[in-house]
Amino acid sequence: MAREPRVVTSTTVRLGMLMAAVGGFLDVYTFVNRGGVFANAQTGNLIFLGVKASQGRWWDAAAHVPPVIAFVAGVMTAQYLTTTAARTWLRYPVRSVLVVEFVLLGAVGFVPSSERLSYGDELSTVVIAYAAAIQIAVFKTLVDVAYSTTMTTGNLKSMSIALYDWVAEHDPAARPHVANLAAIIGSFLTGAVICAVSSPTLGVHTVWLALPLLALALGLFSYDEWSVRRRR
Residue type, 145: V
> What is d(CA 97, CA 77) in angstroms, rounded to the nearest whole number?
10
Number of DSSP helices (H) and strands (E) in the chain, helices first: 10, 2
Q: Which of 190, 39, 11, 209 is nearest to 124 (CA)?
A: 39
**pLDDT tens-digit map of 119-142:** 888 899 899 999 999 998 889 888
Over the stretch 157-201, which tens digit does the pLDDT of each residue have? 999 999 999 999 999 999 999 999 999 999 999 999 999 999 999
- CB atoms closer than 10 angstroms to residue 175: 14
Type of residue found at 124:
S
When pLDDT is averaged across residues 140-152 and rounded to a whole number, the result is: 89
Strands 145-146 and 141-142: antiparallel
- Residue 63's pLDDT is what? 81
Q: What domains sit in the chain, N to C, each tagged with a CATH number?
A: 9-218 (1.20.1250)
